[in-house]
Each structure stands twice: as C-alpha cells, then as structure tokens.
C-alpha cells in the first residue's frame, strides 16, 4: 500500500511569511508524529496526534508553530511569522497505534526561509 506522503517536497519562503506543510499518513494509522531535522542532525520530536487530538505538543519550539489533524487522517503543520532558523527538513511519521509500534516516515518537506 501507499506509504506516508508529504507535500510540498520543497518550500522556499521569505522571513515573516506563513507556511503550511501537509502530511498524509498510511491509511488506518491512528498515530501521527511531526519531527524537525536540521542539517547534520537527527530528527527532533515536535508533536504527536492520536486520532484527531494533539496528545503531546511538548516539542513545539514556540507558539508560532501549530498543527492540526481535524479528521484523524491528514495533518497540517503551520508556521507563522517564519524565521531563518526555521529552515530545516520537516518529517512526518505514522504508526498503527501509539506505544511500541514502529514509526513509518514520509520523505519530508525541506523548508527554506530566506
């Protein structure tokens, strides 16, 4: 079946603009995760959804970052007033349920803030 998909694959924006990054998880996966990966680093956790609710948003760096998953499937990561430091690869992952299950990653969205 289809894996996790993310759009766009690349996004270039100007400082201060608003961006939305989309994640389409594997069908039937109830758990969805967002990570941020800076160049040369491992991914860092941002937020976790179980169904429609954000069960854990402790990794969001500040209130400019927000994510939704209104129907329990597709999720959108929203970044307001982008800063150059937000430039990174944003990865989405899903798993059948929370807990021990393996997370399956999408190809990521590379965000560049000029």
* Pairwise CA distance, residues 48 & 58, whole Å: 9
Closer by beta carbon to other proteins, 8 or else 16: 8
48 binds other proteins (CB under 8 A): yes
Minimal CA–CA distance to 82: which of 15, 1, 5?
15
Chain center to CA of 87 = 13
Closer by beta carbon to other proteins, 14 or else 28: 28
| Of 11-19, 21-29, 67-75, 91-99: span binding other proteins (CB under 8 A) | 91-99
Minimum distance of other proteins from residue 88's CB (angstroms)? 12
100 binds other proteins (CB under 8 A): yes
39 binds other proteins (CB under 8 A): no
Minimal CA–CA distance to 52: which of 73, 28, 79, 67?
73
Residue 84 main-chain phi, psi, to 5 deg: -60, -30
**Strand, coil or helix: what is 23?**
strand
Closer by beta carbon to other proteins, 20 or else 56: 56
Footprint on this chain of other proteins (rule: CB under 8 A): 33, 40-45, 48, 55-56, 59, 89, 91, 93, 98-100, 102-108, 110
């Amino acid at each position: 079946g289809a894996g996790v998909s993310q759009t766009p694959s690349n996004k270039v924006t100007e400082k201060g603009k608003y961006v939305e990054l989309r994640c389409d998880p594997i069908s039937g996966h109830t758990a969805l995760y967002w990570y941020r990966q800076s160049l040369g680093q491992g991914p860092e956790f941002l937020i976790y959804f179980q169904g429609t609710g954000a069960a854990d948003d402790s990794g969001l760096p500040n209130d400019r970052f927000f994510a939704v998953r209104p129907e329990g499937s597709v999720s959108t990561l929203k970044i307001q007033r982008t800063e150059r430091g937000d430039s990174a690869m944003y990865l989405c992952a899903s798993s059948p349920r929370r807990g021990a299950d393996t997370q399956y990653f999408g190809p990521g969205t590379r965000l560049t803030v000029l």
